[in-house]
Amino acid sequence: MIGQILLLSGLVLFSILAVLAKDLIKSAIGLALASLFLGIIFFRMGAPYAGVFEISVVAGLITVLFMLTIALTKTGGDVRESKTATLVFPVFFILAGLIDIFVMKGLLPKLQVLQSGPEAGTFAEILWKQRTFDLVGQLAVILAGVFAVLALFRKKDNHD
Amino acid sequence: MIENWFLYLGFAAALLAVGLYALLTMRNVIKLFIGIEVVSKAVSLVLVGTGFARNHILLAQSLVITFIVVEVSLVATALALIINIYKKTGSLDVRKLTKLRG
Amino acid sequence: MIFLYIGLPLLVAALLPLVGKISKRFLPDLLANGVFLTLLVLAVTSGRRLIGAGPVLQQFRWMGEDTGIALAVDGFSLFMLMTIALVTLCVGLYSINYMEHYGSKSVYYALLLMMMTGMNGLVLAADLFQVYLFLEVAAIASYALVAYGLEYDELEASFKYLMLSVVASAAVLISIAVIFGMTGSVGFAAVAEGLRGLDSRVAVGFCSALFIFGFGLKAALVPFHAWLPDAHPSAPAPISAILSGLLIKVSGVYALTRIFFNVFGLTPALSEVLMWTGMVSIVVAAMLAVGQPDMKRMLAYSSISQVGYIVLGIGLGTPLGVAGGLFHLFNHAVAKGLLFLNSGAVQQATGTRDLDQMGGLAKRMPLTAGTSIVGSLSITGVPPLAGFWSKLLIIIALVQARQGTLAVLAVLASVVTLWYYLILQRKAFFGKLEERWKDVKEAPFWMSAATVILALVAIGVGIWFAVMIRTWIQPASDALSQGVQAALSTRGF
């Protein structure tokens, strides 16, 4: 339990770093580290597949995509973030945290949840047999993304 | 088990707050997208945390994996847009994108 | 073969880039429009036989083996499938001419097919998470399509649309996760079953609020509408047509309706919220439409307003109200699709969208002007066009349910609608023919053909509205009126 809380805090911390860092590269690295923490959290919850996906895809692939974009958009004068945003953040975060804890404590008695029995089947069975339509959806979403990138990076051969 | 659920929900809400803060205050479009990524992490955490608390971890995992695939597609498309915007305007400042009023 | 609705566009889309290497224009045109036509014919003919006896759950068999894909169709989903196929076909035909100078037609058609895959998948899903998944498929395709011309306006509009849309999707997914937490499942039937056994009004209220925010943003309901007046005008005309005509309704209204009616069950509180949100959309958007100098922006605000009518009718919850709302969904899809396609023809002919610069185009572009009039009058609700009947149904339903104020407001808003559409028609098509438009030509064949088809549908449905209602609207409305029962029954979802 303590381990999870520490890891979760690490996750939030690195996310804050990713958001507030001035240098975009540091931001991307912060995001990757946050993903790493999240992956470990998933492992410890008994979700190894999700953990692997989180680490290899989000911490890996998406970070690479970010780095690629950052490299392709090196501006001469970087966009300066407003200083007030960075200064106001702690106040905002503490406020949000307090509201968070308050709401959670208030909801605790009110929420009714159905009891559930043990889960049937292995992960492979559930993914391939029960959620087969999801896989069709995954294929569709990948194709949509591929075509989107193809469309957005195409060479315009005919000009108006 | 509910306490576990609320632990994860609580941290996910904090992450959500961080992500939304980024969306509201950041000027660099890439930073805006980092905000969206943080929000995605919050959502993944909620999904897996819910599955864990309900003893439905396998279903939650397949959902999260599908969600991550969607996220990748989304990031690819958005970054393609951002690169195009940069090629057109030479800047990544969201304040310059004010031609349309909404 | 329900899976065909998803499998066919997906397969053809995957093949198109390869086909595009062989034939740049002809084969992509043919294949894509062929798919749209096939699905339309399928929906109109065999689809109706399939659900003749009630909702159907079909297991997809691949090579004689049962896969895990079970798709459910009922009156509501079939109605949506038919509407999607019809409007997408006309957009596809129109694109044969319009997208000539944009380049990479095969990729364009691939994206259009992916959007259809997403929309069809959303409509056929029997599971909350799959609704989200296919919604994202269609959305990703739409982001690329809005920015398709790679001009500055399109890029900016697409980016803002993307940002807002992703936040909305996140809200929807969080809501789904909470429901998953409460009931242990995400399928419609299981969730409906689970929620009945729980007394969890706070949580269901919270989830409903998130759904209204998320799907409401997709449907461009006020106050979540801000992205639409930028996105729809900037996109290429056929994309504006499919976004306004289909996407906001499928990913916004359909999803919301399906979940609220068949999974949560429509409570009086929910009904109130929906009705008032609809009414606010109607009024605010109608007001904002009046002063717009840009033709497509005016049409965009009109879309927000008309979606308000749809939500108002459906939110009312009575069978008549739901029928009126659904009928208006169809009519608006047809008419707004038509109007946006025409706006593209005008933009292509004159090079501008500014109404004040146009004038007298009817003399040079009679077909465009004629179909525009049909579309405008249909949306405004002028008999005997289709829109008249749908609006009438909604207003009668409101009166019957003793919602007098809303009925009056709806009628008044209709008058405002008529006003701004008359302004649009007068400024663009009538009046004196401006000197510089002396030589403009009528729109090319396929573009005109597409709009003529839609205009004929609007007229035909207006004349034979009873047939339309009996064969398409009634089954859809019945499926929804069954409420949570439909999700729980063994034959359906």
Q: Domain map of chain C by residue range?
A: 4-488
Residue B101: pLDDT over 60 = no
Q: Within C152-200, where are the H helices?
A: 152-183, 188-197
What is the average per-residue pLDDT within B26-41? 90
Assess contact for C349 and C440: CB atoms under 8 A.
Answer: yes
Q: Which chains touch C (3 or more CB pairs under 8 A)?
A: A, B
Quick one: pLDDT at residue C270? 87
What is the average per-residue pLDDT within A132-150? 92
What is the average per-residue pLDDT within C166-182? 91
Quick one: pLDDT at residue A159? 43
Determine the structural domain holding residue A134 and report its residue range. 123-154
Q: Is A127 helix (H, G, I), strand (E, B) or coil?
A: helix
- Do residues A2 and A65 share a domain? yes
pLDDT tens digits along A55-98: 999 999 999 999 999 888 876 456 667 777 777 888 888 888 88
pLDDT band at C267 (very low <50, low <70, confident <90, very high): confident
Q: How far is CA C291 from CA A71, A152, A153, in A?
A: 44, 34, 37
What is the average per-residue pLDDT within A111-120? 67
- Do residues A68 and A128 share a domain? no
Of the candidates C227, C358, C390, C208, the one whose C-alpha atom is nearest the C-alpha of residue C304 is: C227
Mutation site for B-interface testing, chosen from A8, A88, A89 by largest number of B Cβ within 10 Å: A8
Quick one: pLDDT at residue A118? 66
What is the average per-residue pLDDT within C308-323? 89
C-alpha–C-alpha distance, residues A38 and B42, integer Å:
10
Taking CA–CA distances from A142, the nearest residue in chain C reads: C137
What is the average per-residue pLDDT within C86-94? 92
Residues 6+ apart with CB under 8 A from C277: C212, C216, C221, C222, C308, C311, C315
Residue C410: pLDDT over 50 = yes
Please state, rounded to an integer, the average pLDDT across all residues of chain C. 86
Q: How many residues does chain B have?
A: 102
The type of residue at C361 is: L
Among the partner-chain residues C140, C150, C200, the one whose CB lies closest to the CB of A148 is C140
Among the partner-chain residues B47, B101, B102, the one whose CB lies closest to the CB of C177 is B47
Residues 6+ apart with CB under 8 A from A132: C67, C68, C69
Taking CA–CA distances from B72, the nearest residue in chain A reads: A62
Q: Which of residues 16-55 of B touch A (CB under 8 A)?
A: 17-19, 21-22, 25-28, 30-31, 33-35, 37-38, 40-41, 44-45, 48-49, 51-52, 54-55
Instruction: Give percent of chain A with pLDDT exceeding 90.
Output: 37
Mutation site for A-interface testing, chosen from B8, B30, B33, B37 by largest number of A Cβ within 10 Å: B37
In a domain, B61, yes or no: yes
Of the candidates C199, C477, C100, C213, the one whose C-alpha atom is nearest the C-alpha of residue C325 is: C477
pLDDT band at C31 (very low <50, low <70, confident <90, very high): confident
Tell me the nearest-neighbour CA distance from A144 into chain B, angstroms. 8
In a domain, A97, yes or no: no
Decide if A113 and C182 are in contact by the 8 Å CB cutoff: yes
Of the candidates C12, C117, C48, the one whose C-alpha atom is nearest the C-alpha of residue C473 is: C48
Determine the structural domain holding residue B53 and report its residue range. 2-96
Residues 6+ apart with CB under 8 A from C486: C55, C74, C262, C479, C480, C492, C493
Residue A52: pLDDT over 90 = yes
In a domain, B102, yes or no: no
pLDDT tens digits along C194-231: 877 776 777 888 889 999 999 999 999 988 888 899 88
C-alpha–C-alpha distance, residues C160 and C121, integer Å:
25
Quick one: pLDDT at residue C301? 92
Q: Which of residues 88-107 of A touch C (CB under 8 A)?
A: 107
Tokens of A129: 């047999």
Decide if B57 and A42 are in contact by the 8 Å CB cutoff: no
Residue C485: pLDDT over 70 = no
Among the partner-chain residues C104, C118, C202, the one whose CB lies closest to the CB of A140 is C118
Residue C318: pLDDT over 60 = yes
In a domain, B79, yes or no: yes
pLDDT tens digits along C32-63: 888 888 888 888 887 666 666 666 777 776 66
Instruction: Give percent of chain A with pLDDT exceeding 70.
Output: 84
What is the average per-residue pLDDT within B58-82? 93
Tell me the nearest-neighbour CA distance from A81 into chain B, angstroms. 6
Which ipTM did the prediction report?
0.93
C-alpha–C-alpha distance, residues A109 and A96, integer Å:
21
Q: Is C127 helix (H, G, I), strand (E, B) or coil?
A: strand
Assess contact for C312 and C420: CB atoms under 8 A.
Answer: no
Q: Which of residues 47-106 of C touch A (CB under 8 A)?
A: 67-71, 100-101, 103-104
Tell me the nearest-neighbour CA distance from A85 into chain C, angstroms. 20
In a domain, B27, yes or no: yes
Quick one: pLDDT at residue A143? 94
Q: List the single range of A100-114, A121-135, C75-89, C124-138 with lowest mean pLDDT.
A: A100-114
Among the partner-chain residues C147, C153, C229, the one whose CB lies closest to the CB of B81 is C147
- Which residues on chain C are in Cβ contact (under 8 Å) with A109? none
Q: Which residue has the higher pLDDT, C466 or C140?
A: C140
B64 to chain A, any CB pair closer than 8 A? The answer is yes
In a domain, B59, yes or no: yes
In the numeric block, the tokens 């309706």 are attached to: C257
Under 8 Å CB pairs connecting chains B and C tally to 98
* Count: domains in chain A: 2
C-alpha–C-alpha distance, residues C281 and C276, integer Å:
8
Q: How far is CA A13 from CA A33, A57, A151, C427, in A?
A: 10, 21, 37, 58
Residue A111: pLDDT over 70 = no
C-alpha–C-alpha distance, residues A55 and A52, integer Å:
5
* Count: domains in chain B: 1
Residue C154: pLDDT over 70 = yes
C-alpha–C-alpha distance, residues C32 and C15, integer Å:
11
Entry pTM = 0.92
- Which residues on chain B are in Cβ contact (under 8 Å) with A152? 77, 80-81, 83-84
Among the partner-chain residues A35, A65, A144, the one whose CB lies closest to the CB of B75 is A65
Quick one: pLDDT at residue A157? 57
pLDDT tens digits along C176-199: 998 888 888 888 888 888 877 776
Residue B102: pLDDT over 60 = no
Measured over the CA atoms of residue C125, residue C127, residue C131 and residue C137, the dihedral's sign is negative
Instruction: Give percent of chain C with pLDDT exceeding 70.
Output: 94
